[in-house]
Amino acid sequence: MAEPRVVLVADNPDLLRSIQVYLREETGQQAHAEAFADVGDRLTYDSDGLLLLGVANPQEQALARHIVQQVVLQKWPAVTVLIDAIGPMSNLASLEGLVSRRLGWPDDAGRLALLVRELDRGRRFRFAEDANLEATLSHRLLALTPSLLPLADRIALGACHDVTVLINGETGTGKTFLAKLMHDYSPRRQHRFMTIPCGAIAANLIESEFFGHAKGSFTGADRTKVGKFAAVGPGTLLLDEIDTLGLEQQATLLRVIETGEFEPVGSTETQHCEARLIVASNIDLEKAVALGKFRADLYFRLNVMSFHLPPLRERISDIEPLARGMAVRFACKFNKELYDIHPEALSALESFAWPGNLRQLENVIQHAVLMCTGPELLLRHLPTVVREAGLPMAEETPILGDSLHEQRDQAERGVIQRALVSSGFNRTRAADALGISRVTLYKKMKKYGLLKESALRP
């Protein structure tokens, strides 16, 4: 589709048709039509044309408000105009300071024509999927995770071809997001995307989860079960935390990858796997191979293409766009009229070490949006542990000459230590405050030598 200068978003066919006909007759401009439900996912950071939101009934007011939040809160350059066909008593007055114009239809038709005529000729309303795959992925990454932009060409390559992909990174760094992104832009996108959380399944149930089982094949198997390898069909299957599989289970998986064949537990019927596999690991599998904890032959089969996702503390440039995108989502979910994040709040978010990575950031933004009562998310809406991260603490000033890695470790240790102190060294409460699991907190405490300090507390 050629890039339009004017996009009209309206669900009411009569309003849509009347505006389109008027603009074509008065200005010669064809307004490209979109429905409210479709346009949100197609907006990008460079959708910089004229965005007309036509509201013809009260039910559409919330939809229009959500689009305005998306454009304004994420600071995208589209020129947004509300076309209100309900009348002066509609509940859109609060948006007047946030949009370029609020026009009544058809009373202000002449003003709309003037806006279209004066629109900068250089403006084009770009949609993500109007470009080639690499450009489309670049648009999406730049809007959410700009630090991953250099990977766009490799992600596009992995999406297009049926190769096994290995994604490595700490818990919560976005491995599932990347796997789903590759599925969404692959030839398999019309089929299912399923995840198997290997680390959350008991070892004796892994094969049943993978391949299913026959009725009566073991105690408790009171019915036949279809495993994920069959249920996903020709879709994409993500094996998360694959590093937790035992050597015997790894051998079974290797056979499936090499031959595409498997049998449900307790069955002699050989089935064929149609799925594309993506695997994710929280640890470096190459090191696990060297330690004898992971099969070398399986590792080499999995590592056709690999991606490493750095922790959020090393991706400071991602925090603001991620926070703004999450704020849009939760503002819609909780029906909040939120349109900006205060610089002090952004500074605190960027100063925090994020031991729980993206999942913790999501929890923090959800909490802050819930606490927010006005149009702007403020520093005081953030949890205490995040607010305090932005405060200068002389005793934690890094020593000159420390590496960036050492300074980040110091910052993360300080955040965890403050959370423990604030919770009276109750690990459950500290983990909740940090937005991480007790297991992750224990590992971090062990890493930073905080277990002994914790044991000395009452």
**SS3 category, 367:** helix
**SS3 category, 212:** strand
What does pLDDT average to in each consecutive run of 10 residues of the chain (458 residues)? 80 94 92 89 77 91 91 87 81 84 91 88 67 71 79 89 93 92 92 94 90 86 89 96 94 93 90 95 94 95 93 90 93 92 93 92 96 94 85 47 64 77 73 78 81 50
Nearest-angstrom CA–CA distance, 101 and 50: 11
DSSP 379: G
pLDDT of residue 390: 60
pLDDT of residue 210: 94
3-state class percentages of the chain: helix first, strand second, coil last, to nearest 5: 50, 15, 35
pLDDT of residue 44: 74
- E strand or H helix at 258: helix 247-259
Residue 113 near residue 23 (C-beta atoms within 8 A): yes
Among 420, 424, 423, 422, which residue's Cα sits nearest to residue 445?
Answer: 420
pLDDT of residue 128: 58
Residue pLDDT, tens place only, 137-161:
776 776 678 888 888 889 999 999 9
Relative orientation angle of helices 316-333 and 61-73, to the nearest 10 degrees: 170
Residue with tokens 């953030």: 382
Query: Per-residue DSSP letters for 24-41?
Result: HHHH-PPPEEE-HHHHGG
**SS3 category, 395:** helix
Among 409, 312, 406, 300, which residue's Cα sits nearest to residue 361?
Answer: 312
Tell me the domains of the chain and their CATH numbers. Answer: 6-128 (3.40.50.2300), 161-309 (3.40.50.300), 314-455 (1.10.8.60)
Give the number of other Cβ atoms within 10 Å of residue 218's Cβ: 12
pLDDT of residue 428: 79
> Tell me, what amino acid is at 84?
D
Residue with tokens 């024509």: 113
Give the number of other Cβ atoms within 10 Å of residue 33's Cβ: 19
DSSP 338: -
Give the number of other Cβ atoms within 10 Å of residue 404's Cβ: 9
Residue with tokens 């992600």: 155
Q: Model-level pTM?
A: 0.76
Torsion sign across C-alpha atoms 352, 356, 361, 366: negative
Among 305, 318, 393, 387, which residue's Cα sits nearest to residue 358?
Answer: 318
Question: What is the dihedral angle through the alpha carbons of 295, 298, 299, 303, rounded to the nearest 10 degrees?
Answer: 180
Nearest-angstrom CA–CA distance, 273 and 278: 14
pLDDT of residue 118: 85
Residue pLDDT, tens place only, 207-245:
999 999 988 888 888 888 899 999 999 999 999 999 999
Give the number of other Cβ atoms within 10 Å of residue 195's Cβ: 17
